[in-house]
Structure 1
C-alpha cells in the first residue's frame, strides 16, 4: 500500500486531481434526479411522523420502524435484486429502469395503504428497488466518465441524496400539513415516474464492455480493505440517522417547538447537507481518511451536545445543523474509499448501499427501542453518539498506518 493510499489521498500521477466539472455529462445529473426521488421517499417519514402515528394508531417509535424497513429492504433486497439482474445478463440501463418501475409500484402501495402492515410492505418494496437503483446507478455514472473523473461524478449523483432534505422532504412535510399524508406519498409516485421517463430518454444505452457478470462481481467482494471501508460507512450513517429519524418528535415534544417549524428545520438541515457535500466532495479523493476522522469526531460531539441540551431550542438547533454538516455529507469520502479499494461494480456499489442502509436501520431501530424502553426521546441521540465513537474506533487501524 502506498503512502498516498494510506493517507486517503489521490496521487497526482493518477490523473485524478481537480477534474473540471464541465467534463461531467448531463446523464450524470439525470441519475442524480432519480436518486433524489428515491431518497426523498426514504427520508420523508421523519418529517410526517405525527400524522402517520395518528393515522395508524401506533407509537412514534413504531413509525420510526418504517424507516428501518425501507433500509432493511435496501440492505437485503438491493444486492439480491442486483444479483438477479446480473444473472439474467440485463444491461445496466434497462436494469436501472426495471428497478425504478418496481419503486413506483412500492410507492403506490404506500400511498393507498389502509393499514400499518400495508405501509410496511410498500416500504420494503421501495427499499429493495432503491438499493438496486443506487448500486447500478453509481456503476452507470462511473462508466459515463473517465476514471480520473469518477469521484467528482459520484459526488454529483450523491447531490441527489443531499437535495432530498432541502427540497423533497420539506415539500412532503408541507403537503402533509396542507393536504394530508397520502398526497405526500402520491407525490413520490409522480416524482419517480417522471424520473423514470427522463432516464429512459436522457441516459445513453449501456455499452457491451460495461457489462459485469455475476461471477466477477462476487469476486470483487473478496477484499478485506473494501469491507473495512464498508464498516465505517455503516457506522457513520447509523450515527446520523439515529438522531435524524426522530428529530421532529424531539423538537416538538422536548424542545417545545411548534410542528410548523419542522419543514423549516428540514430545509436548514438540507442546506447544511448540500454545503457539506460540496466541500467534502471537492477534497474527498485527496484527504479521505482525515475527513472521516475529523467528521466523526465532530459528529460525536454534536450528538452529545444535542442530547444534553435537547430542551434548549437554540443549542439543540445548532447541534442539529452541525450534524447536517458532518453526518451524511461524508458520503463522498466514503465512496472514494470504496472506489479506491475496488473498481466500480454493480455488486460492490449495491453492497455498499446495503451496508450504509443497514447502519441506518440499526441506528433508527435502536433509537426507537430506546424510546419504547422508557429512556425518553433523547435516547436516539445517545445511540448515535455511541455509533459515532465506534466509527472512530473502526478507523483506528487506518490512522495507525497513517502515523507509521
Structure 2
C-alpha cells in the first residue's frame, strides 16, 4: 500500500513539475521530422501490399507464400518493437529514434537486395521491428514539444505521417514498383527514410529531459492488467477498419459493380477519412478520457451496418469508407492516452503496444472477413465480422477499462493525470 501511495505521489509531483512548456529551437521542424519518419515507415508497410504479386513472381513463389513477408513485418511490430524498447530502456529518446531510423534503412535496403523469399521474410521482420518503437518514442518527443496536456495531439501528430502514407506514399510506392521493379520501391522507401534520418539528426532536441529509465519501469508496466485490457480493446475494436480496408477492391468491383479503376479512388477516400479522424481524435483525447473511443467505436458500428445493407451503391459506399477511416482513427489517440495513463512510467513501451495492437487488429479483421467470405455470405459480409469484433471491443471497454483509474495515481487526481500529459523525462512522466 505504501508503495502504491509513493508511486502516486511521484506521478502527481512529476505532473506539477512539468507545468511549463519547454523552450525548443525548432519545434515545428522537430514535429515535421517525426512525421516524415512515420511517413517513410508507413510507405514501406503499405507499399509492400501493393507489390506482393511482383516479388512473388520475381522470387518464383506463389502469392500465398509471398504473404509470409507481409506477416513477418507484422510480427516484427508485435514482437520486435517491444523487445527493442526493453533493450534500449535507458537510451535518450533522441538517440533511440536516430538508431531506429538507421535500422529501418538497413531492413529496407536488405529487402531490396533479398535473393529469395526466405531472406525477404527475415528482412521484413527487421524493418517491422522499428515501427512500434519509433511511434512510441516519437510520441514521447512530440509530447515534450507540445508541452503538458497534449499527449493525444502529440500521438496524432506522429500518426499523421502514417495516414499520409495511406493516401500518397503507398500508391506512389506501388506505382514505382509496377513501373520499375519491386526492388525500386524499397529503394525509394530507403531514400525517404534517409531524408527522415537527416531531419531527425538536425532537428530533434538535445536534452536530458528525454533520457531513458531502467528496464524495471518498463517491465512493471507489463504487469498491469489494465494495460493488457486496453490492448485487447484496441485489437478487437480497430479490427473493423481492416475488415473493410482489406476488401475495398472486391467491394468496388463485385458489390458496387464498378471498374477496377475506381479502387484507387476508394482507397484515397478511405485514407482522407483516416487523416481527418486522426487530427480530430488527437484533440478529443486531450479533453476527454472516454469520448474519443466510445464515439469512434460507436460511429463505426453504424457505418458498418450501412455498408452491409446498402454498400452495393457507390454513392453509399464511398462516404461510408471515408466515415470508417475517420471514426476508427478518431479512437486511436484516446487509446494511447489511456495506455499512458495506466503506465505513466513507460510511455514509449505503451506507444509500441498500441501499434502492436493495431497489427493484431489487422490480422483479426482480415481473418474475420475471410471467414465470412468462405462461408458464402457475400462480398459485403466482411463488415459484419468487423461489427462483431468492434462491438466486443466497445463492450469490453465500457465494462472494464473505462472504470479503471491510471495506475498508482490517487483517485482525486486520476482524471487530471490522464488529461495533463507532462513533458517527457522517460521513466517517470507520461507522454
TM bucket (normalised to shorter chain) is: 0.7 to 0.9
Structure 2 partner of 1:7: none
Structure 2 partner of 1:235: 236
Deviation per CA, 1:123-156: give whole Å up to 9, x if none: 2222112122222222233334432233322221
Structure 2 partner of 1:258: 259
Q: What is the CA-CA distance between 1:76 and the residue it aligns to?
A: 0.9
- Provide the secondary structure at the position in 2 that maps to 1:243: helix
Structure 2 partner of 1:356: 358
Answer yes or no: is the 8 Å Cα contact 1:46–1:248 preserved in 2: no
Q: Does residue 161 of the first structure (1) align with residue 165 of the second (2)?
A: no
Aligned equivalents of 2:320, 2:66: Cα separation in 1 = 24
Deviation per CA, 1:356-395: give whole Å up to 9, x if none: 3222233234445665677665454333222111112112
Aligned equivalents of 2:149, 2:208: Cα separation in 1 = 19
Stretches of structure 2 that go unaligned for 5 or more consecutive residues are: 1-15, 20-24, 405-431
> How many pairs are equivalent?
385
Q: Cα distance 1:376–1:82, how it changes in 2: closer, same or farther (>3 A)? A: farther
Structure 1 partner of 2:37: 34
Residue 47 of structure 2, aligned match among 38, 44, 47: 44
Aligned equivalents of 1:14, 1:253: Cα separation in 2 = 58
- Residue correspondence of structure 1 range 108-147 to structure 2 within 5 A: 108-147=109-148
Answer yes or no: is the 8 Å Cα contact 2:230–2:401 preserved in 1: no
Structure 2 partner of 1:272: 273
Q: Cα distance 1:155–1:394, how it changes in 2: closer, same or farther (>3 A)? A: same
Q: Does residue 386 of the first structure (1) align with residue 391 of the second (2)?
A: no
Structure 1 partner of 2:428: none
Answer yes or no: is the 8 Å Cα contact 2:40–2:193 preserved in 1: yes
Aligned equivalents of 1:24, 1:398: Cα separation in 2 = 38
Q: What is the CA-CA distance between 1:320 and the residue it aligns to?
A: 1.6
Moved more, 361-370 or 266-275: 361-370
Deviation per CA, 1:317-349: give whole Å up to 9, x if none: 232222111123322222222223232532232
Stretches of structure 1 that go unaligned for 5 or more consecutive residues are: 1-12, 17-21
Aligned equivalents of 2:304, 2:120: Cα separation in 1 = 30
Residue 78 of structure 1, aligned match among 78, 81, 92: 81
Deviation per CA, 1:233-283: give whole Å up to 9, x if none: 222322212321232344345544333333332222222112222222222
Q: Cα distance 1:342–1:127, how it changes in 2: closer, same or farther (>3 A)? A: same
Aligned equivalents of 1:298, 1:28: Cα separation in 2 = 30
**Coordinate RMSD, CA, aligned:** 3.4
Deviation per CA, 1:52-104: give whole Å up to 9, x if none: 66666534x66666544322210111101111222xx4322222222212212
Q: Cα distance 1:52–1:372, how it changes in 2: closer, same or farther (>3 A)? A: farther
TM-score scaled to structure 2, two decimals? 0.77
Aligned equivalents of 2:402, 2:79: Cα separation in 1 = 33
Answer yes or no: is the 8 Å Cα contact 1:46–1:245 preserved in 2: no
Answer yes or no: is the 8 Å Cα contact 2:152–2:281 preserved in 1: no
- Residue correspondence of structure 1 range 282-321 to structure 2 within 5 A: 282-309=283-310, 311-321=312-322
Q: What is the CA-CA distance between 1:210 and the residue it aligns to?
A: 2.6
Moved more, 270-279 or 310-319: 310-319
- Provide the secondary structure at the position in 1 that maps to 2:290: helix
Aligned equivalents of 2:371, 2:158: Cα separation in 1 = 33
- Provide the secondary structure at the position in 2 that maps to 1:161: helix
Q: Cα distance 1:78–1:205, how it changes in 2: closer, same or farther (>3 A)? A: same
Q: What is the CA-CA distance between 1:106 and the residue it aligns to?
A: 1.9
Aligned equivalents of 1:238, 1:14: Cα separation in 2 = 38
TM-score scaled to structure 1, two decimals? 0.82
Answer yes or no: is the 8 Å Cα contact 1:67–1:364 preserved in 2: no
Q: Cα distance 1:318–1:361, how it changes in 2: closer, same or farther (>3 A)? A: same
Q: What is the CA-CA distance between 1:399 and the residue it aligns to?
A: 8.9
Q: Which has the larger radius of gyration?
A: 2
Answer yes or no: is the 8 Å Cα contact 2:149–2:286 preserved in 1: no
Answer yes or no: is the 8 Å Cα contact 1:165–1:270 preserved in 2: yes
Answer yes or no: is the 8 Å Cα contact 1:65–1:364 preserved in 2: no
Structure 1 partner of 2:5: none
